[in-house]
């Protein structure tokens, strides 16, 4: 008998492969969209690789080439951990073909393990692009042995396994705890948020420990810095040791621990797998509803409400789109209570930047979080098999997408306004500035909503097997997310610099104008695309 692990994994990959669609689908539009998606993703990967190479060039030029392997390990580990936390629920639990798979002679551990491996393989292109580009950057400056490169490439495939396993295990614990509650999705989402926020705060806690122990004095040399990171998270130390010193022991430890952890973690997961999925997938009907007064809503608000219910019904969707809003609010509230000066000092590590210099960047800082993933980038694809409902209804497609955009505005604007106000109060900005920042925040929300919708409609994919493919790995989200994030980061720096040379309110006015024009153009594009559907 063929190895069932490999058989299932191969089928899972085949069931979502682009190759299968391009080879067998007779739908030319679908193929065209897929090719567009591949081109878009290639551009994104090229951007990430360029960014990573340039970062290494920076390290090389200031003479800390030896720190690059550790940096690479830290980046990949952090990304793998966070991405997996958001994906575990959709990949390991609550997937739609659960009944089919569980009724076949696979044991629960095989299914859970293969679902994890599938998630790992699907994420690999991201980690490989980061690692290979950093290896190139390292190669430019390090006088490394030829052996380093094959070792680096092999370990690239091993590096994400440990953080992904840890995140999957935490996701399993969250699913286990939340499956005992009636409002499973909500509890799961809240627990994920609590954990993610804890992870973000961990960085500051560790830095706090460093500072009180005056460890920063020790961090004078690069090898000590690497050692310090590695002492907290051993795989970083092993990877750095494997690359910088070609230590066989480090290579074996990284590979061995990854494999051992994989075996260990899926024992408890396998044992509770059916119990958790049973609880997550089955809800007894209360049958206690009594007819009450029903209110009529406007069509556009009905669509927006439908979008709200869609979001609330999925932990994967909710955690991925709401995390930006939650983080923005946290930044605002923390600044309000702790003081913006303290936040700037902590985040910027004592860089000579005052709160006044940051004034024009306030709306962009908030937008960096709020505009991370708009619901409009995912919701067209998330219609999935229910697409026929909206297609068959006697409503214009333009109205449908206006409704989708309205929901994202309902969701983002209040968070943007409250977070911006908190920052303005904390920074003691003049009232005129605050009003301008609020307008800019709303304009940016409008842009994010409309541009997200352009990406969502243009790269709409309805035949997904798992909603993670849309929310986390969809071409629409990736094409929106990365350029938007990089450009926002660039704009934050730009407005701070411009604010030093010209009136900062003028800078804000220009940004409002640009955001409004881009929002309008994107909106018109959505309408044009909707008419073609």
Partner 1 sequence: MGMLEIKNYTKIYGEGKKAADDVTLTVESGDIYGFIGHNGAGKSTTIRAVVGVLDFTEGEIYIDGHSVKTEPMECKKVTAYIPDNPDIYENLTGIQYLNFISDVFDISGADRETRIKKYADMFEITEALGDQISSYSHGMKQKVAIISALIHEPKLLVLDEPFVGLDPKATYILKEIMKEMCAKGTAVFFSTHVLDVAEKLCNKVAIIKQGKIIASGTMEELTNGQSLEEVFLEVVDEK
Structure tokens at 82: 């966070």
The stretch near partner 1 (CB under 8 A) out of 25-33, 64-72, 148-156, 391-399 is 25-33
Q: Which residue from 28, 29, 214, 283 is in contact with partner 1, where contact means CB under 8 A?
A: 283
Which window, 20-28, 40-48, 399-407, 498-506, contacts partner 1 (CB under 8 A)? 20-28
Minimum CB distance to partner 1, residue 314 (Å): 16
CB-CB contact of 112 with 266 (8 Å): yes
Could you tell me which stretch among 15-23, 52-60, 484-492, 493-501 binds partner 1 (CB under 8 A)?
15-23
CA distance 491 to 463: 36
Residue 289 touches partner 1, criterion: CB under 8 A = no
CB of 399 to partner 1, least distance (A): 28
Of 17 and 42, nearer to partner 1 (C-beta) is 17
Does position 42 interact with partner 1 (CB under 8 A)? The reply is: no
CA–CA distance, 499 with 514 (Å, rounded to integer): 17
The full 3-state SS of 76-141, as one line of letters, equals HHHHHHHHHHHHHHHHHCCCCCHHHHHHCCCCHHHHHHHHHHHHHHHHHHHHHHHHHHHHHHHHHH
- With tokens 């494997």, the residue in question is 242
Return the ∠ at Cα 271 (arms to 269 and 273), rounded to 5°.
Answer: 60
Q: How far is the CB of 54 from partner 1 (least distance, A)?
A: 37
Quick check: 146 binds partner 1 (CB under 8 A)?
A: no
Cα 113 from Cα 263, distance rounded (Å): 9
Total binding residues for partner 1 by CB under 8 A?
40
Residue whose token pair is 């920074």: 427
- Residue 191 vs residues 174, 357, 373, 376: alpha-carbon distances, Å: 7, 36, 20, 25
Q: Which residue among 146, 217, 267, 285 contacts partner 1 (CB under 8 A)? A: 285
Q: Which of 54, 61, 107, 231 binds partner 1 (CB under 8 A)?
A: 107
26 lines the binding site for partner 1 (CB under 8 A): yes
- Considering the complex, state which of residue 99 and residue 216 has its C-beta at the smaller distance from partner 1: 99
Tokens 């990171």 belong to 229
- Stretch of 16-24, 49-57, 219-227, 340-348 contacting partner 1, by CB under 8 A: 16-24
The least distance separating partner 1 from the CB of residue 282, rounded to whole angstroms, comes to 6
Beta carbon of residue 283, minimum distance to partner 1 (angstroms, whole number): 7
Contacts of 367 (CB under 8 A, 6+ apart): 416, 441, 444, 445, 448, 488
Quick check: 32 binds partner 1 (CB under 8 A)? no
Q: Is 186 in the site for partner 1 (CB under 8 A)?
A: no
Tell me, residue by residue from 195 to 214, as one string, x for binding to partner 1 by CB under 8 A and - for no binding.
--------------------
Of 377, 464, 374, 472, the C-alpha closest to 122 is 472
Site for partner 1 in 333-372 (CB under 8 A): none
Q: Distances from the Cα of 448 to the Cαs of 230, 427, 481, in angstroms? A: 39, 25, 10
Residue placing its CB nearer to partner 1 in the complex, 107 or 341: 107
Matching residue, tokens 């994890």:
116
What are the tokens at 54?
Answer: 């340039």
Locus of tokens 């705060």? 201
Q: Based on CB atoms, which residue is closest to partner 1, 99 or 341? A: 99
The answer to whether 275 contacts partner 1 (rule: CB under 8 A) is: yes
Residues that bind partner 1 (CB under 8 A): 1-2, 4, 7, 11, 14-17, 20-21, 24-27, 96-100, 102-107, 180-182, 274-275, 278-279, 282-286, 463, 465
């Amino acid at each position: 008998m063929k190895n069932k692990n490999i058989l299932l994994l191969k089928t899972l990959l085949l069931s979502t492969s682009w190759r299968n669609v391009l080879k067998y689908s007779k739908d030319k539009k679908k193929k065209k969209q897929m090719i567009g998606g591949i081109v878009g993703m290639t551009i994104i990967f090229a951007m990430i690789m360029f960014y990573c190479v340039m970062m290494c060039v920076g390290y090389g030029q200031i003479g800390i080439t030896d720190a690059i392997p550790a940096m690479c390990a830290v980046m990949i580990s952090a990304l793998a951990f966070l991405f997996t936390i958001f994906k575990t629920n959709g990949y390991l639990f609550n997937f739609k073909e659960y009944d089919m798979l569980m009724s076949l002679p696979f044991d629960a551990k095989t299914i859970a393990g293969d679902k994890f491996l599938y998630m790992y393989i699907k994420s690999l292109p991201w980690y490989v692009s980061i690692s290979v580009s950093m290896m190139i950057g390292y190669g430019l400056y390090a006088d490394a042995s030829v052996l380093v490169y094959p070792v680096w490439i092999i370990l690239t495939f091993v590096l994400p396994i440990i953080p992904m396993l840890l995140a999957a295990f935490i996701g399993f614990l969250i699913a286990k705890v939340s499956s005992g509650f009636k409002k499973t999705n909500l509890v799961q989402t809240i627990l994920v948020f609590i954990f993610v926020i804890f992870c973000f705060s961990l960085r500051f806690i560790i830095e706090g420990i460093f500072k009180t122990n005056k460890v920063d004095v020790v961090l004078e040399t690069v090898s000590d810095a690497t050692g310090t990171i590695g002492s907290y998270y051993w795989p970083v130390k092993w990877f750095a040791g494997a690359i910088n010193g070609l230590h066989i022991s480090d290579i074996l430890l990284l590979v061995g621990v990854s494999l051992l952890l994989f075996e260990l973690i899926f024992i408890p997961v396998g044992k509770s797998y059916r119990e958790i999925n049973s609880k997550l997938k089955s809800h007894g009907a209360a049958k206690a509803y009594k007819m009450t007064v029903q209110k009529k809503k406007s069509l556009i608000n009905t669509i927006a409400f439908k979008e709200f219910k869609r979001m609330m019904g999925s932990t994967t969707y909710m955690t991925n789109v709401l995390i930006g809003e939650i983080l923005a609010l946290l930044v605002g509230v923390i600044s309000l209570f702790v003081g913006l000066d303290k936040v700037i000092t902590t985040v910027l590590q004592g860089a000579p930047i005052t709160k006044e210099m940051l004034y024009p960047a306030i709306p962009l800082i908030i937008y960096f979080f709020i505009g991370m993933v708009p619901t409009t980038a995912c919701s067209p694809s998330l219609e999935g098999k229910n697409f026929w409902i909206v297609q068959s209804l006697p409503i214009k497609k333009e109205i449908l997408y206006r409704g989708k955009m309205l929901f994202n505005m309902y969701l983002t604007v209040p968070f943007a306004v409250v977070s911006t106000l908190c920052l303005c109060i904390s920074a003691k900005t003049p009232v005129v500035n605050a009003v301008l920042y609020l307008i800019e925040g709303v304009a940016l929300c409008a842009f994010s909503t409309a541009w997200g919708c352009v990406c969502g409609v243009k790269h709409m994919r309805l035949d997904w097997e798992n909603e993670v493919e849309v929310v986390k790995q969809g071409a629409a989200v990736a094409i929106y997310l990365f350029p938007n994030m990089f450009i926002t980061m660039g704009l934050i720096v730009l407005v701070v610099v411009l604010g030093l040379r010209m009136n900062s309110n003028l800078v804000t006015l220009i940004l409002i104008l640009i955001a409004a024009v881009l929002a309008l153009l994107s909106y018109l594009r959505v309408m044009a695309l909707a008419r073609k559907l």
